[in-house]
Every structure is written in structure tokens, then in C-alpha cells.
Structure 1
Amino acid sequence: MTESINALLIFCEGPHDIAYVRMVMQKLLYFEKEEVLFKELPSPFHKLLKQTVNTHAAKELHLDMAHKFFLPDTILRNGNHLMLLFNCGGKGQYDKVRTLISDYIPAMKVAPRLAEGTKEVVDSIRYLFVYDADAEGIEGIIKSVNNNFSSINNASFINTEWKKSSHSDFGRVAGDKAVYVWGENPARGTLEDILIPLFTKDQKTLMGDAKAAVVKMFPRDTGNADPAIAVPAMAKQSKSILTLVGQGKKPGFSMSVIIEQAELLEDTTLKTDSTTKEFTNFVAEFIGLSV
């Protein structure tokens, strides 16, 4: 007899988002990395991911390896809950996301028939789109999601109204689809607005020195009255600060590595941070995970 699995596909803008999501899911919701062969995954993923390699990788065997998007960057698991994290390579990669989802929708319909040789079947799948609020804000992001994902393969994909979450103003839910934005508030900002306070709490002196150096060497128009200019300027400045602050522990490494591996954040800082808890509580409620 097969066991039922609930799956969540999380579409992130880039590696920094993947690093933060992966870290907080492991530390706050106790997910663990699932490191298994394709054939050991629940149906239909055990065949779908192998087919994905054959279909997409065969078409794009060149150095930038764009086809890697069609495989999850990370798979996480907590009991009968499975998370697949995808690195979209930017906010505007709607075509790639639609193509990937178009592979999953028909596969889910035949999952029980593909289950021979597996112990588990995915019988529930949900989709979470995670973006920087930037200068658009959550309402602008929702409009873009509706414009780009209302239908897939000429079939309705988003067919219910978006509702506010009881856990966070940064998230919206429409049935089995959800959107969550990063920012200083739901109207503007980026992931760095969440990360800077976290690192400052645990590394106040180091962060102060890094900020002073970055501001002096690479001045940006962070105070511009136009959010379309100020928000990306602040994000770039913050990325530079976070990358610099990790060079002592991880010299030469990128910001995504520093977020997870430089050991500059205490677990208690993450677990008591209200913004991080808002996000994890939002996810937990969305997928029906008891916390």
C-alpha cells in the first residue's frame, strides 16, 4: 500500500532566496535535505525528474546550463511533506516557470498509475511564488502573477481570488497557489531588508565596519525619492555589505554561501526574528503542517 505525500513547489528569484528559504525551513520547520536517487522519490517525481533531464537537458547542452532550472535546486522533507525549491534565475523568467509547471500538471493526474515500484504517491501539490517586493509591492506582484500564470496550456491555473494571510501581510493565497514577497514592508523592498537586521543583531561591529567601507567605496543613490531608483540601489548596497561581512569566514564566496555557511547567524536569532517567523508560519499554514 502506498503512502500519500503533500508536495510544495517553491519558485525563488535566485540563489540568495534559495539559501534563506532552505535555511529557515530547516531550522524553524525542521525540514531535512532529501538526498536520494530519482527512482526513490514519490510518484510521479521518480519518473518526472528523469524525464525532465532527457527532455530539457538534451536540448540545451551548452555552458550556461540554463536547463538546470527544470530540476529542483533542493528537495526538503518533513514527514509526508516534500518541498522542491527552484532557482528561476530572475523575476521575469515567467516562460520557464510556465513550461516547468506544464510538465507537473499532467504528471500529477497519472501519479497513481506511475506508482509501481514506489512506496509513496504525491496526491496533493501546491505552488508558492516568492519575489522581492521591489518598488511594485505585493499588489503589483499579484497583478504580474495573474497576468503570467492565470492559465497554463490553455487551462485555468489560478481560478480563485487572492486572500490575505492571517500570519503575514507579505503573503497572499489563492487556493493551492500562494505568493510571498520580501521587503521592508509589503509595498517595497527586497530580501536584503530581512537579512541586514538579522546579521546586524549578531555581528553589529562587523556589519558597521562593512557598511562604512561599502558606502565609502561604492556610493549609491539609496536616498532617491523615486522608489524605482532607491530600492534597487539599497539592495545592491546591502548585497555588497553582506558579501563583505562573510569574507573572513568564507573568503571568495558568494552571498548565498555566506547566508548559510559562514556561521554568522545564531539559531536563536532566526527562531526569534518576527519577520522570519511570519514567513515560516505562512508556509506551515499553507501546506497544513503542524508547528
Structure 2
Amino acid sequence: MKSFVIFCEGIHDVYFLYRILKKMGFKSFNKKIKDMPSPLNKYFPLLMKDYNYEEYNILNINPLLPFMIKKDDQLILLYAIKGDTRDDNINSIVNAFIDFPSSEEDLGFTKGSNNITETAFIFFYDADDKGINYRITELKRKLSETFRDIENIEHGKFLESENHHNIGCYIFADNTEKGKLEDITLPLMTLENEPLFEDIKIFLEKHDELIPTPQKKHFQKATIGIAGQLTHPGSSNAVILRRSNMITEEKINDSPECNSIIGFFSTFLV
């Protein structure tokens, strides 16, 4: 079985990519940990045993385990790493997978068992106001010691490696090569709901003095949150992106940005 470890900045990225991958035929992978493919059935219990309770309790939400989806012999693990600066999180996960024994004999399973024998690592980041090229440069700098082929990485490209640790990356951006995930999701939600989103814009502008200055840059997130409360009261933006009927399969099909992401996935997923 092939596994693809996808790193995202936040849980909202995870759920949006799930919407994309669901369209491609992937479904939630819900198994007891003891019944998961090796070596996950060994790795996850060890991870739970050594976890930092203070960091992972309900008051400080930071998912310890990935959201998993599967199609045929392809297993995707979607991690939310809480921003683009959590190098420690990324490196610990990457190193754990790289250190996994790859042969069935080493794993202690008989030949033909449904185990993970190959792992690829995919990175999704926002371009923000720094741009795609900056993000790519930072990715190379952070992972140069782990992946010898990282110097050849490009936005929207997947690199195959002889050591079976293939890598790829995709940067969320608008046509200026800057921007973030909301530059994709907000237009999807706004389409066919323009009057609602115009009212939300007026509301936020009217009460601008109540918004703390550091939060004013998150106008798009606020807009998505307000719109989502109509159908999913009390839900976070992540839940809204996963369940909102304002993002439909038809809209995804017609979106150049979504089709670009699907095209990227299609270079390594069957």
C-alpha cells in the first residue's frame, strides 16, 4: 500500500482538500488503530503514549493524529501543523515515516499483507503576501537535510525519488502569485449567494471599530464564518468548509483553482 502524508497549515486546509479528494473518489478511513496497516498500528500507540497532555488536551486543540482517507491501495494522511513555522512537528512526522522498515519481513508480516511499503510527502502552504517563490525557498531551506532532491521542488510539482520518499508541494495563491486558501474558498461560497455576502461585507464595515487591529486582515475568514453560521450554527470555519452546501461539486468542477489542485493530485494519485 502507498501512503501520502499531506502537511497543511490548518485544519480548514485539511477539510477543503478533503472536499477535493472526495470528488476524486477518496473516502474516510475509519478503523481501530490496532486494525490499521502496519506500521501505523505500531506508530500511533507509541505517539499517544509519549504525547504532551498540556499541548493536546481539549483546551488547546491541536490534532495529534491525521485525518485519513483511502481509495484502493492509496492511503492519505492529512496533518494540520498549526501554521507554516512548526518545523518540529513536520520533522518529527517525516522522520518517523522515513524510519519505518519497508520490507514485509522486517515488519513481521507474511508476504502479501496489506502494509505500507512506500510513503510520499506533500506540502500545502499559503503564499500570503510573500509570494509563491518565497514559500518554495523556505521549504527547500527547512527540508534540505531530510530530502536530497528538495532543491528541484517547484509549485504544483511532484518529484519521484529512488529511495521511495517522493515529495511534492502546492502553494495556495491568486493570479498575482500571492494570497491564501480563502482566495479560493470565499469566491466558491459567494457564487450564487452574492446578496448574502454583500450584506456580510456591509455588516463588517459598519462594525469595523469592534474588530481588533491585528484581526482586520482576516476579513475573509470572518466573512466565511458569518455565512456558515446560517446553516451550521456554532461551527468553526473548518467545519463550515467541510460541510457547507455553498461549496458544491458543480462549483468545484467549474473552478480553475480547484482544477489546478486536482491536476496536481492527478500527477501521483490514481
- Normalising by structure 2, we get a TM-score of 0.87
* Corresponding residue of 2:163: none
The runs of 5 or more residues in structure 1 that have no matched partner are 165-169, 221-228
* 1:26–1:32 contact (8 Å) kept in structure 2: yes
Aligned in 2, Cα 1:24/1:244: closer, same or farther, shift over 3 Å?
A: same
How far, CA to CA, are the matches of 2:137 and 2:248 in structure 1? 37
Displacement of 1:258? 1.1
How far, CA to CA, are the matches of 2:261 and 2:216 in structure 1? 25
Aligned in 2, Cα 1:251/1:70: closer, same or farther, shift over 3 Å?
A: closer
Displacement of 1:116? 2.3
Higher deviation after alignment, 134-143 or 37-46: 37-46
* Corresponding residue of 1:48: 43
Q: Deviations over 1:130-166 (max 9, x none)?
A: 11001221211111111111114xxxx24254255xx
* 2:228–2:244 contact (8 Å) kept in structure 1: yes
* Corresponding residue of 1:162: 152
Aligned in 2, Cα 1:51/1:134: closer, same or farther, shift over 3 Å?
A: same
2:53 pairs with 1:61: yes
2:252 pairs with 1:252: no
In the TM superposition, structure 1's runs of 4+ consecutive aligned residues that sit over 6 Å from their partners are none
Displacement of 1:69? 4.4
The runs of 5 or more residues in structure 2 that have no matched partner are 161-165
Residue among 234, 238, 244 paired with 1:262: 244
Residue among 99, 105, 127 paired with 1:133: 127
* 2:27–2:70 contact (8 Å) kept in structure 1: yes
Q: Structure 1 counterpart of 2:20, which letter?
A: V
* 1:44–1:111 contact (8 Å) kept in structure 2: no
Q: Percent identity?
A: 22
Q: Structure 1 counterpart of 2:109, which letter?
A: E
* 1:138–1:186 contact (8 Å) kept in structure 2: no
* 1:130–1:179 contact (8 Å) kept in structure 2: yes
- Please tell me the root mean square deviation across aligned C-alpha atoms, in Å: 2.6
Q: Structure 2 counterpart of 1:132, which letter?
A: D
Residues paired across the two proteins, number: 261
How far, CA to CA, are the matches of 1:278 and 1:91 in structure 2? 22
Q: Secondary structure at the match of 1:250?
A: coil
* Corresponding residue of 2:79: 86
Residue among 191, 195, 198 paired with 1:208: 198
* Corresponding residue of 2:117: 123
Q: Secondary structure at the match of 2:170?
A: strand
Displacement of 1:105? 0.7
Q: Secondary structure at the match of 2:191?
A: helix
Q: Secondary structure at the match of 1:210?
A: helix
Q: Structure 2 counterpart of 1:35, which letter?
A: N
How far, CA to CA, are the matches of 1:115 and 1:284 in structure 2? 33
Residue among 21, 39, 43 paired with 2:17: 21
Aligned in 2, Cα 1:80/1:91: closer, same or farther, shift over 3 Å?
A: same
